[in-house]
Amino acid sequence: MADMKNSRGLTGDGHTAGRGLRRRLGGAGLALLGAGSLMTLSAHPASAATTVTVPCSGPNGGGPGLVAAINAANASGGGTINLAEDCTYVLTAPVDADQNGTPYVNSPITINGDDNTTVTRKSAAQFRIFVVGGYGRLTINQLRVTNGSATYGAGIRNFGTLNLFDTTVSHNTASQSGAGFGGGINNVDGAIATLTRSRVQNNQADNAGGINNSPSATLTITDSGVSKNTAAFDAGGIGSGTGSTLTITNSWVTGNTAGRYGAGLRTYGGTTDVRGSRVNGNMAAEGGGFNNAFGTVTVTNSSIDFNVATSGAGGGVINAHGDMTVRGGEVRGNTAHSSGGGGLSNYGDQSGEQSTLRLIDTVVRDNTMSCQGCLARGGAITNNRTLIIESSALTRNRVSSPGGTAQGGGIYNDAAGTASLTDSSVTLNIASGAVAEGGGIYNDGTVTLSNSTVRHNTPNNCSPPGSVPGCTG
């Protein structure tokens, strides 16, 4: 199995302790140390908030006008900045040494766009579009954020609180010799980001092509899409790190790609809740739709479909050393090549490491694991730790190895695996190859059936004969 402990794509932000403090304060909070005393200058001057309209052009307009408006709002302790309809605000140079195209947002600031309002970078220099300081709260309405280029968070880098409404973050790039994170958005350790009716699309990064949700950060996505983003290594759409919280509701994660793990989502050690959403059409080497390592994940009334693992396990899902529950919805039409689990793969790759996958009221269908002349296992599911299936159906899945050996059209249960099926069915699954065994279930470990059926599978229901009590034919 691949090394699932590689977490760089989910945790990196690269700031050192000293520079990290300045970035979090956004250059506005300065501490003066004396003998036995500490004096702190406020990050928010006590002044009235302002409302400014920045025209599309002219001496007070365009990109320079936006920069000036953010500075003025910070100086006033917050404010509202209204941008012109059908206007592109062009940033041509960074405003500081931290790859920022606009000043740190250090106060509550709202930026309102309108139809086709865009803020973009046009420069050979690398810099991101927006940055939110640790004391800042940035709310963006109806804006396009494009063409940023930085190591971390090329579109937006958030140390504080970020709220996006009806906003598109697209065509931004975070790259630096494999150490770039968050092509569209980088939500830094401890920060809070909320996306509503927004899109993060066509961004690219070394890791976390769309959004990087760093350790201990909180990311909430509602009625939004994360699509067509690319990561050279891990997490094409969204990467979420240790201790983080990720909530996705009524949204879609589609068409993302990753060179290694988790094209749609890669979570590492955090808590993730996906509801009423779709993870669809993503492609990675392993874990095409969803790669969970050491995290706690709940997927409810959602669809994980038509994802691809090109050279490893888990066309739809890899759950590695994690705790994952899929309740309701479907896992369908996913494909894995070269390794097991067309739909889902549940494993721990070191002795003693637990991994639990639960399927409750879920349909797992039309998934495929195929390779030429290889040992192919688990058309729907491979398991080498704990698999719990309740009130679910596994049907029309296929494991195929022309010229090779195919085992477990529905389930392949490894020698270290324990699988239990309650009130469930395994039907019409197929294993095909020069040697084909266990069209329904191939069991090298322990499988128990409780009020469940395994029937009408090809070439047989369970293999080896007698390995699954209660399964015949």
Q: Per-residue pLDDT tens for 328-350? A: 999 999 999 988 999 999 999 77
**Alpha-carbon torsion angle 33, 38, 39, 40, nearest 10:** 100
pLDDT for position 400:
98
**Peptide bond preceding 459 in cis form (omega within 30 of 0):** yes
Tell me the pLDDT band of 10, cut-offs 50, 70 and 90.
low
Residue 39 is predicted with a pLDDT of: 25
Compute the average pLDDT of residues 236-244. 98
Mean pLDDT of the chain: 92
Asked whether the predicted pLDDT for residue 258 surpasses 80, the reply is yes
pLDDT grade, residue 24 (50/70/90)? very low
What local confidence, expressed as pLDDT, does residue 355 receive? Answer: 97
Please check the confidence at residue 275 and state whether its pLDDT lies above 60.
yes
Q: For position 47, what pLDDT does the model report?
A: 57
If we measure between CA atoms, which residue out of 405, 346, 416, 348 comes closest to residue 371?
Answer: 405
Structural contact between residues 379 and 410, judged by C-beta atoms closer than 8 angstroms: yes
Q: Residue 413: what pLDDT?
A: 98
Confidence class of residue 36 from pLDDT cuts 50, 70 and 90?
very low
* pLDDT value of residue 32: 22
SS3 317: strand
Distances from the Cα of 417 to the Cαs of 105, 186, 376, 399, 449, in angstroms?
51, 38, 17, 19, 15
> Which pLDDT score is estimated for 353?
83
pLDDT bucket at 179, cuts 50 / 70 / 90: very high
| pLDDT band of 12, cuts 50, 70, 90 | low
Whether residue 29 is predicted with pLDDT greater than 60 in this model: the reply is no
Separation CA 397–CA 389 (nearest Å): 16
Assess whether pLDDT exceeds 90 at residue 384: yes
Q: What's the DSSP call for residue 100?
A: B
Residue closest to 185 by CA, chosen among 208, 155, 161, 207? 155
pLDDT band at 185 (very low <50, low <70, confident <90, very high): very high
pLDDT value at 14 more than 90: no
Q: With bands split at pLDDT 50, 70 and 90, how would you rate the model's confidence at 35?
A: very low
User: Residue 45 CB: number of other CB atoms within 10 A?
Assistant: 14
Note the pLDDT of residue 23.
Answer: 46
Assess whether pLDDT exceeds 70 at residue 16: no
Question: How far is residue 176's CA from residue 150's CA, in Å, rounded to a whole number?
Answer: 8
What per-residue confidence (pLDDT) applies to 428? 99
**pLDDT at residue 131, as a whole number:** 99
Residue 34 clears pLDDT 50, i.e. is over it = no
What pLDDT shows up at residue 97?
A: 96
In Å, what is the CA distance from 241 to each residue of 5, 190, 286? Answer: 12, 11, 18
Residue 11, pLDDT > 90, answer no
